Amino acid sequence: MQSNTGSYKRVLMGPGPSDVDPRVLEALSRPTIGHLDPAFLGILNEIRTLLQYVFKTNNQMTLAMSGTGSAGMETCVVNLIEPGEPMLVCVNGVFGKRMSDVATRAGADVSTLEVAWGQVFDPEAIDQVLRRKPAKLVGIVHAETSTGARQPIEEVSRVVHSHGALLLVDTVTSLGGIEVNVDGWQIDACYSGTQKCLSCPPGLSPVTFSEAALQTLEKRKTKVQSWYLDLTLIRQYWGSERLYHHTAPINMNYALLEALRIVKEEGLENRWNRHWTNHCMLKKGLAAIGINYVAQAGHELPMLNAVSVPEGVDDAAVRKQLLEQFGIEIGAGLGAFKGKVWRIGLMGAASTKSNVLLFLAALENCLSDQGHKFPKGASIAAAIESK
């Protein structure tokens, strides 16, 4: 998009944004209308209903915040925490770390429980920490985008609630790609992003609050520190009062609605199965050329495949060649994984068999150019066709 009318076409196989369906792009470009127009308020209602479907919840307070996933994280923390209140954050990657930073800035009395990057948390360990120091709120990441690890939530939820705390879960990368069951798992507050497995451009953050979270919000003694993210005000716009708060990002909401309709048409379970099938194919192909996952075995995320850069291979050179020769974007490692890890996304519309095959062939080409020695008799094609 360097020229006035030009645009780039990429194959988005990084940690998000993911490829966007042409129907969603078309919806984005519809004429802007007002944020208090009855037609737009109808769109907000439909978005709520569809977000309830993807979150698997009946929570009345289910909406899209006017910012990206990180704004959703901050929304949940600043609305549920008052200065001095204890919060436990589970940290096993960049996004758990970010949550503890956000909580500290919100004035929470923050404790962290840390395990090595790529590992997931044992509910027992969380139980022990809460025995030593109770918390009002426990925050954990369902799908850690920096490590590709999937954290089981059900057992964690039981432990957290046995201590009378509220459970906050980051589902930015998981929502729409694997099961997120807000009501079934008794999650109290949950946020996500639009640009991962929902395959909508970035710019909004779906958020949902349980009845218990709502009561906590209503019982606050202090004002929420962020005016822009204050749900006590925003609920009066999304609710029946329709009071003006800020001007909603109209066209982004058109896009989110269309993206959610596509999820509904495919069906959540079909969508999860598609993500799983393509992940398995990629994993087999990568194994055939000796490339391994960094997440704890059995906890690899299907939509975010974090793998070790093979010994002696120039991380940045391979990513550059993939982008420039094949238009394929993959992600670099963050933080502790910088230079050591590739993050290969198979999210939403980008989770296709074609993308898996294209990527494997392109990667083989890039590695060959670097003189990489493949395992003897390695055959990606044979590997992915084997049962």
Q: Is 225 in the site for its own copies (CB under 8 A)?
A: yes
Which of 41, 115, 212, 250 is close enough to bind its own copies by CB under 8 A? 250
Part in contact with its own copies (CB under 8 A); list of ranges 61-69, 181-189, 212-220, 373-381? 61-69
The residue (of 123 and 327) whose beta carbon lies closer to its own copies is: 327
Which of 58, 124, 164, 223 is close enough to bind its own copies by CB under 8 A? 223
The residue (of 289 and 366) whose beta carbon lies closer to its own copies is: 366
Q: Is 232 in the site for its own copies (CB under 8 A)?
A: no
Q: Is 39 in the site for its own copies (CB under 8 A)?
A: yes
Peptide bond into 38 cis (omega under 30): no
Q: Taking CB under 8 A as the rule, which mask of x and - marks residues 314-333 in contact with its own copies?
A: ---------x-----x----
Which of 41, 56, 136, 228 is close enough to bind its own copies by CB under 8 A? 228
Which of 60, 85, 202, 277 is close enough to bind its own copies by CB under 8 A? 202
Q: Is 7 in the site for its own copies (CB under 8 A)?
A: yes
Which of 127, 155, 183, 249 is close enough to bind its own copies by CB under 8 A? 249
Which of 133, 220, 246, 340 is close enough to bind its own copies by CB under 8 A? 246
Q: Taking CB under 8 A as the rule, which mask of x and - marks residues 180-199 in contact with its own copies?
A: -------------x-x----
Judged by CB under 8 A, the chain residues 115 through 154 that form the site for its own copies are none
Q: Is 10 in the site for its own copies (CB under 8 A)?
A: yes
| SS3 per-residue string spanning the chain | CCCCCCCCCCEECCCCCCCCCHHHHHHHCCCCCCCCCHHHHHHHHHHHHHHHHHHCCCCCEEEEECCCHHHHHHHHHHHHCCCCCEEEEEECCHHHHHHHHHHHHCCCEEEEEECCCCCCCCHHHHHHHHHHCCCCEEEEECEECCCCEECCCHHHHHHHHHCCCEEEEECCCCECCECCCCCCCCCCEEECCCCCCCCCCCCCEEEEECHHHHHHHHCCCCCCCCCCCCHHHHHHHHCCCCCCCCCCCHHHHHHHHHHHHHHHHHCHHHHHHHHHHHHHHHHHHHHHCCCCECCCCCCECCCEEEEECCCCCCHHHHHHHHHHHHCEECEECCHHHCCCEEEEECCHHHCCHHHHHHHHHHHHHHHHHCCCCCCCCCCHHHHHHCC
To the nearest whole angstrom, how small is the minimum distance from the Cβ of residue 379 to its own copies? Answer: 31
Judged by CB under 8 A, the chain residues 86 through 115 that form the site for its own copies are 98, 101-102, 104-106
Q: Which residues of this protein are in contact with its own copies, per CB under 8 A?
A: 1-2, 4, 7-10, 12, 14, 16-17, 19-20, 25-26, 28-35, 37, 39-40, 42-43, 66-71, 74, 98, 101-102, 104-106, 193, 195, 201-203, 223-228, 244-252, 254-255, 257, 261, 323, 329, 334
